[in-house]
Amino acid sequence: LSLYSSPARETKYVENPQTQLEEGVSHLRHLMEPYTAWCQTELTDSSKVKVTSSLCSDFFSEGCEFLQNPPAGFYPRLGVIGFAGIVGLFLARGSKIKKLVYPGGLMGIGASMYYPQQAVAIAKVAGTQLYDWSLQGYIAVESLWKDN
């Protein structure tokens, strides 16, 4: 029960009259409704088949199979690695370079904790690539220096 009584208000909803353009559009929509409904059902059914067949094509079949039947503990590990990336974004306030390095670095550290063998293999490949790039840069700078 209310402590204060409020007077009953008599409100009446009055709808604005439709303009001639609105009436024409409404009439057109009602005429086209069966065709649009047919198109929506036909296109969505065929697009679902195409999307699933294209997503799980030969190139992505292993990935789709892996995500449909993940190994035990995969999603918690993925959550920890993703959370490390979010923490990296939180810690990287201010600099654009920090926003690139911190999330990637923390996600890399998290992934290397769960997948150490793959991390070692990636580190070896990345190390040789960095060495090759630095050697190419050194040769380019040396050739520029000698030309002058």
12 compared with 117, residue with greater pLDDT: 117
pLDDT tens across 65-89, in order?
A: 878 888 888 888 989 999 999 999 9
106 and 141, same domain (yes or no):
yes
- In angstroms, rounded to a whole number, what is the distance separating the alpha carbons of residues 111 and 26? 56
Residue (of 130, 79, 82) closest to 106 by Cα position = 82
Regarding whether 82 and 120 lie in a shared domain, the answer is no
Residue 28: inside a domain? no
Residue 106 forms part of a structural domain = yes
C-alpha torsion sign, points 45, 48, 52, 55: positive
Domain-located, residue 117: yes
Residues listed for the chain: 148
Q: Kindly report the CA angle at 119 between 93 and 107, in degrees rounded to 5?
A: 20
Residue 141 lies in a domain: yes
Confidence of residue 2 (pLDDT cuts 50, 70, 90): low
Instruction: Give me the domain span that covers residue 66.
Output: 54-93
75 within some domain: yes
- Cα angle for residues 93, 98, 100 (degrees, 5° grid): 115
Domain count for the chain: 2
Domain-located, residue 63 = yes
Same domain flag for 69 and 109: no
Structure tokens at 119: 């991390």
1 found inside a domain: no
Between CA 16 and CA 43 the distance in angstroms is 37
In this structure, is residue 113 part of a structural domain?
yes
Amino acid identity for residue 71 in this structure: P
Residue 38: what residue type? W
Residues 59 and 74 in one domain: yes
Check whether residue 114 and residue 132 sit in a common domain: yes
Contact between residue 81 and residue 107 where contact means Cβ atoms under 8 Å apart: yes
Instruction: Assess whether 99 and 143 both reside in one domain.
Output: yes
Render pLDDT for 22-32 as a digit per residue (tens, 0 to 9): 888 888 888 88
Distance CA 148, CA 145 (A): 5
Q: What is the pLDDT of residue 137?
A: 93
Burial (CB count <10 Å: 0-12, 13-18, 19+), residue 108: middle
Residue range 88-147, pLDDT digits in tens: 999 988 888 988 999 999 999 999 998 889 989 998 999 999 999 999 999 999 988 887
